[in-house]
Amino acid sequence: MSNVPVAVVTGSNKGIGFAIVRALCKQFPGDVYVTARDPGRGQEAVAKLQEEGLHALFHQLDIDDLQSIRALRDFLKEKYGGLNVLVNNAGIAFKVRDTTPFAIQAEVTLKTNFFGTRNVCTELLPLVKPYGRVVNVSSMSGSSALRGCSQELQRKFRSDTITEDELVALMTKFVEDTKKSVHEKEGWPNTAYGVSKIGVTVLSRIQARMLNEQRKGDHILLNACCPGWVRTDMAGPQATKSPDEGAETPVYLALLPSDAVGPHGQFVSDKTVQTW
């Protein structure tokens, strides 16, 4: 088993994830893994980094596929005895002009952005070593979606005692409510992506609390963040930040020094803790 520190970035064959790997290759003292659902796209990304003189490794990971997540978990356990940095970056968003029915958009978006990310956390968080860093890439869209929720939902999502099961039930209810076309009546905003990112941010708050309760002595720091508005296939060419600039806050959180006591359980944008 290798004692080399290891960092894993989900959805890192392109966009912000790729830029996060590029920065980690330069700054993280250990092995850095590109992961992608498509091995061809993943290997291409590794080759592109190689051309830049950077050495990344590759492992397949489709966050929608529990078997794929578990294969990565077993690989990390066997080769490294765990992991040191996990960046949950993989995500999807329907384009504004997409005519797919809203209920389908809700189901598909939540499946990857919330349930997929949660499944990765369920399988990989127990492997995170002491002084490990976990970054869940969320979005300011989650914060605006929160403000668009009913007072009752806002109270639940801001609660310091909400459990993971309660959050899962709420995310499931959103998808069900869209199918019955009652989501607005039930207090939800009209954005599947925004609600999925509420889920990612609240999940991060819960996970940080659990780490405090169960693994306080391990000094693991876990946060959600927004990369900003970044020129990628998701956000398009008009966005204000380059992928490398979008990677700055996630990388800052992934590389918090071992004597840092925070941020932890926060939503961070431009390296600054935001009010939730």
Please identify every residue annotated as catalytic: 193
Residue 254 neighbours by CB under 8 Å, 6+ apart: 7, 20, 24, 28, 85, 87, 133, 135
Does the protein bind ligand NAP through residue 230 (CB under 6 A)? Answer: yes
Does the protein bind ligand NAP through residue 112 (CB under 6 A)? Answer: yes
The CB-of-44 to ligand NAP minimum distance in angstroms stands at 10
DSSP 8-state assignment for residue 127 = G
At 91, give phi and psi (nearest 5°): -170, 165
Q: Which amino acid is at 88?
A: N
132-191 residues near ligand NAP, rule: CB under 6 A? 137, 139
Let me know if 238 is exposed, middle or buried by CB neighbors in 10 A (0-12, 13-18, 19+): exposed
Does the protein bind ligand NAP through residue 209 (CB under 6 A)? Answer: no
Does the protein bind ligand NAP through residue 109 (CB under 6 A)? Answer: no
Does the protein bind ligand NAP through residue 64 (CB under 6 A)? Answer: yes
Q: Give alpha helix (H) positions in the chain.
A: 15-27, 39-51, 66-80, 102-110, 117-124, 140-147, 151-158, 164-179, 192-214, 243-246, 248-254
Does the protein bind ligand NAP through residue 249 (CB under 6 A)? Answer: no
Alpha carbon 114 to its chain's center? 9
Does the protein bind ligand NAP through residue 116 (CB under 6 A)? Answer: yes
**Residue 58, both tokens:** 């590759």
Closest CA to 114 of 216, 4, 5, 202: 202
- Taking the least distance from each CB to ligand NAP, the nearer of 95 and 216 is 95
- Taking the least distance from each CB to ligand NAP, the nearer of 23 and 235 is 235
Does the protein bind ligand NAP through residue 62 (CB under 6 A)? Answer: yes
Binding mask 1-40 for ligand NAP (x = CB under 6 A): ---------xx-xxxxx------------------xxx--
The CB-of-143 to ligand NAP minimum distance in angstroms stands at 11
Question: Under the rule (CB under 6 A), what is the footprint of ligand NAP?
Answer: 10-11, 13-17, 36-38, 41, 61-64, 89-93, 112, 116, 137, 139, 226-227, 229-230, 232-235, 239
